A and B are shown apart, each in its own frame.
Chain A
Amino acid sequence: MTRRISFGTVLLYLVLAVLVVVYLLPAYMAVVTSLKLPNEITLPRAWEFPSTLNWSSFSEALALLKPNLVNSVILTICATALSTVLGSLNGYVFSKWKFKGSEVIFTLFLFGMFIPYQVILIPLFQTLRAMNLYGGLPGLILAHVVYGLPITSLIFRNFYAQIPTALIESARLDGAGFFSIYTRIVFPLSIPGFVVTSLWQFTQVWNEFLWGICLTRHSENPITVGLAQLAGGQAVSWNLPMAGSILAAIPVLCIYVFLGRYFIRGLLAGSVKE
């Protein structure tokens, strides 16, 4: 059978090729600029390939951003782990132990995911200050855990809805209680759920900026704030901000490229509809 190549097919691939180029251009620009020597970076020649590869921008940016990267790693791991575990328990209750009003509570939870966070910023700032948590990572972790609860509960609830209720019922008849059903049946089945949720939370917390800048002092700033300061103002040479951007993007890009399937599932779950 010979493949018929129609005009439509050619057009399809042509349009797709153009779109691919357009979507990759910013990444190309970031890489090229970060590899240039500072005096080689000029506006008219911005798109051109560097004459010599200069890797020193990366080590320089890494030296500047290292404290921020360390902060972000601690912050992201703690916040992701806590909110995922809590979300799993909540999702278990919301899907398998429905009680009168649990759907209302669930909807009230979801609301927390859609508020513009500016609306809770001032009380959050005041509360953290009163709890002596303002400025440091624990306060930021607390904020990320609390406001991460809606999405993690949502993903786990939808995930656990796929576990047949009959399985839970029969375990109950065998005398298993609330927690033993969770540890023996639900939890072992949840590994994909944990992967989806923690990847989603990881990217969200890693990329967050508003709380980072409002709730932490300089030494505790996460990577997004560090990068904004590195790139902000009248940046002298663009190789550093670009190298910093790439450094800040690498962890989430790795997740996305290698575990993209799970990332997309988190993304689709975030749109509420099952």
Chain B
Amino acid sequence: MREVSRDRIKAFITLLPSVVLIGVFVYGFIGNTVWISMTDWRGGAALSENPVKNFIGMQNYVELFSGFLDGRFRQDLVNAVYYSVLLLVGAVGIGMFIAILLDRKPRGEDFLRTVFLYPMSLSFIVTGTIWRWLLAPQGGVNLLPTYLGGKALDFQWLSSMKTVLLFDWQNLFPILLYLAAFVLILLGLGKLRRDPSRAFKHYLVPGVVLGAVVWLFGDLLPRALFMEEEHGFNLATLGIILATIWQYSGYTMALYLAGFNGISQDLMDAARLDGASDFDYYMHVAIPMLKPITISAVIILSHISLKMFDLIFAMTGPDNAATGHPALDMYLTTFRANDFAKGAAIAIVLFLVAGTFIIPYLVTSYRQRRNAR
């Protein structure tokens, strides 16, 4: 018995260096960034060996969300939201579609899989460099229709100044509440067939009430900003979204394909016997069964879209405001403008957004592992 306990100590000692490194470099550093974000560490003090930092509380955050000079950050945040949503829809949708095609076991499946997945192995800088040339205004993608007998496009993929879905940042709170009401109603409608009473009680009624309350009393909500400031979806980000989907749809394809292969042939045959068409089989049997895979894909893709830095850097450079992203803003604020405190605050905002996805995901996977034992 003593041998075993000595081995346990050895096991722990083997793990210890990694525990210390992760403890310091992940958790210690995050704590340090939180602290920096609450100081006034900027300008000349940023570069000195022993900088003087004064605690100023939440001021950096207040400035980011409602300060006169930080409109750029707010637009970047809006960009990141649109960017994430479109990337998710595009990459999951196309990846799932290709996986279903490959699940029909066409000839040359290996070759096809290689073709759809190779972009994934490339660096974002390589992808960005190639796509910047592909999306040049009078060439590349815009010329493709002419080879099919059509007219050349003239869309400015990376430099369009057009913005759609505009909204006033002043109305941020009512908009967020409307959005919450909308999501509740959608969820309710989705669950209506399976469990009508729960759908009404937990989703539909609260959703409608919330929407109505905001509509009636929305004016009483505080304004998020003292002046009008319009933000919207910059069409210039479409080029970047396109390149990211090209690079990552193969990834979701690989995830789904592995999932489809894991479903037993019997189940497919059973569904066929019940008269289900291929469409029904995927829609009502296979894809619902692969919900854990969908969740994984959503988590990893939103993580990628939140830290998106390299691709935008390579495609439009760090200074292009129309395609800005908080991850780039953080870099510019910290290392160009030497405003370490505000850079840290931007990083923490990114971190918190990422955390809302990742922490529940990790907690569930932890519970599953614990229960599996």
Contacts and interface: CB of A to CB of B under 8 A. Distances in A.
B101 A209 contact: no
A249 B140 CA distance: 21
A143 to B, nearest CB: 8
Given A12-B101, A209-B313, A268-B255, A249 B126 contact: yes
B33 A120 contact: yes
Interface stretch (B85-93, B232-240, B265-273, B304-312): B304-312
A44 interface: yes
A5 interface: no
A108 B363 CA distance: 10
Contacts, number: 276
Contact of A271 (B10, B116, B296): B296
A268 to B, nearest CB: 6
The 8 closest A-B pairs by CB, nearest first: A43-B139, A207-B123, A97-B11, A256-B121, A120-B29, A123-B29, A116-B307, A209-B310
A110 B22 CA distance: 10
Given A89-B14, A149-B21, A228-B314, A119 B118 contact: no
A268 B258 contact: yes
A19 B26 CA distance: 41
B14 A224 contact: no
Given A116-B303, A153-B18, 5 more contacts: A93-B12, A103-B369, A146-B21, A172-B4, A245-B130
Interface in B66-113: 98, 101, 104, 106, 112
Given A115-B30, A253-B121, A103 B370 contact: yes
Contacts of B8: 97, 99
Contacts of A210: 307, 309-310, 331
Interface residues of B, number: 100
A114 B258 contact: no
A267 to B, nearest CB: 6
Nearest to A253: B121
A210 B258 CA distance: 31
Interface of A: 12-13, 15-16, 19-20, 23-27, 29-30, 33, 42-44, 46-47, 86, 89-90, 92-94, 97, 99, 103-112, 114-124, 127, 143, 146-147, 149-150, 153, 172, 175, 177-179, 203, 206-210, 213-214, 224, 227-228, 231-233, 238, 241-242, 244-245, 248-249, 252-253, 255-257, 260, 263-264, 267-268, 270-273
B130 A29 contact: yes
Given A44-B138, A104-B366, A257-B118, A90 B10 contact: no
A28 B362 CA distance: 40
Nearest to B249: A23
A94 B366 CA distance: 13
B154 to A, nearest CB: 12
9 contacts: A27-B130, A105-B19, A118-B350, A119-B29, A119-B348, A206-B123, A210-B331, A231-B314, A252-B122
Interface of B: 3-4, 6-8, 10-12, 14-15, 17-19, 21-22, 25-30, 32-33, 36, 98, 101, 104, 106, 112, 114-127, 129-134, 136-140, 143-144, 147, 246, 250-251, 254-255, 258, 292-293, 296-297, 299-300, 303, 306-307, 309-310, 313-314, 317, 327, 330-331, 334-335, 340, 343-344, 346-348, 350-351, 354, 358-359, 361-363, 365-366, 369-370
A150 to B, nearest CB: 7
Interface centre among A110, A153, A233 (most CB of B within 10 A): A110
Interface centre among B28, B29, B361 (most CB of A within 10 A): B29
What is the predominant secondary structure among interface residues of chain A facing chain B? helix
Contacts of A114: 299, 303, 354, 358, 362
A110 B123 contact: no
Given A177-B7, A227-B126, A268-B258, A123 B133 contact: no
B143 A47 contact: yes
A119 B115 contact: no
A212 B100 CA distance: 38
Contacts of B303: 114, 116
Given A122-B36, A242-B129, A117 B138 contact: no
Contacts of B29: 119-120, 123-124, 127
Nearest to A105: B19
A214 B292 contact: no
B11 A44 contact: no
